[in-house]
Amino acid sequence: MNASIKALAVAAALLTAGLTACQKDNLVQPTHPQAQPTDAAGLSGGGGAAGGRTQYRLVKIDYLMPNGSTLETKLLYTRSNQLVKVSNAGMTKEYSYGPNTIQVLESMALPNQPLKKHSLTTYFLTAGGRAWKFHINYFDQNEVLKPGPGVAYLFQYNGNGQLVRIGRENNSKDRDTLIYNGNGDLVKEFGYNGQGEPAFEQQHYYDKPGSYAADLNTAQGLLPDYGPLNPWNVQSVDEYLPIFGKFRKHLPKRYIQIATPGQAPNADWSFGYVLNADNYATERKTRSINGSEWKHTYNYIATEVAPVQ
């Protein structure tokens, strides 16, 4: 896939630093489970009742930007726990469900501008609920869906149910390949353009942050990832939908993006976490190699107690 697509993902994350605080939708009010720094004791216990681990529904994400302002993202569900809306001051995603399909209507806004329809995405699902195809059409400046076939990509999984390939439907050379380690964590992603040439590389590390951010983590080694979010930077994958398999079993501690093969990284970020008693991340602090810092706080509602697997 085109390197500019991946570069745009990083740019979009940084662009939100220009947004100011947040819209106030009447969604379910969240509770924030008591947080504690990650340490050996916190990682060894299962938490919950009767030897189980409490499960949580993510309902709000607070993003403290490098400039000190806050962006609030809210998630709205039906009574049957089906995601129907994700919204903040800069974007809204509305989800609708059909037979073996999920449609996502995304609206976006520049700072101090109203929301405008941006794209309509359809995910096609197998009988088991796994996405096998992604299709997207875009709206013009008048919020009219542009004519034409749009763009489609196909998803391919390995025997462990992990997504390993995202390829353009009408050009197999235009693709991403995903590589996992023995722990079940996504460690590398390689993108190729329409001519089959290397276009970008992404790297994920789980054992420790970069040396410039060694103080971010209070616990050594791997931290479990029980959260519902997919990686935000995998092309064609919606961050909020559980239809792509599990990308990782542990929380990443470092992310590197190389937008131009053979060149220096254009992004190098490290992460530190606070976990609650059930090992859900309630806070993630990010530090860039250039010294910039920002923070995400995750707010949940406890839903049930499940047996520890």
Percent of the chain with pLDDT over 90: 72
| pLDDT score of 12 more than 80 | no
Q: Is 9 helix (H, G, I), strand (E, B) or coil?
A: helix
What predicted TM-score, i.e. pTM, was given to this entire model? 0.82
* Residue ranges per structural domain of the chain: 3-307
Confidence tier at 218 by pLDDT (50, 70, 90): low
pLDDT value at 37 more than 70:
no
Helix (H, G, I), strand (E, B) or coil at 76: strand
Rounded percentage of the chain residues whose pLDDT exceeds 70 = 80
Q: Please report the pLDDT score of residue 46 as a whole number.
A: 35
Give the pLDDT score at 304.
Answer: 67
d(CA 4, CA 16): 18
Look-up of token digits 């039906």 = 78
Q: Which pLDDT score is estimated for 119?
A: 98
- Antiparallel, parallel or unpaired: β 83-88 and 91-98: antiparallel
Give the residue-averaged pLDDT of 192-221. 91
**Is the pLDDT reported for residue 134 higher than 70?**
yes
pLDDT at 238 over 70: yes
Pairwise pLDDT comparison (34 vs 264), residue with the higher score = 264
* Position 181 pLDDT exceeds 90: yes
Q: What CATH number is given for 3-307 in this structure? A: 2.40.160.150
Distance CA 65, CA 149 (A): 38
Structure tokens at 118: 């941006």
Q: Higher confidence at residue 94 or residue 110? A: 94
- Backbone φ and ψ of 211, nearest 5°: -60, -25
For residue 111, what pLDDT is reported? 82
Q: How far does CA 246 lie from the centroid of its chain?
A: 12
Q: Strands 171-180, 254-258: parallel, antiparallel or unpaired by DSSP?
A: unpaired
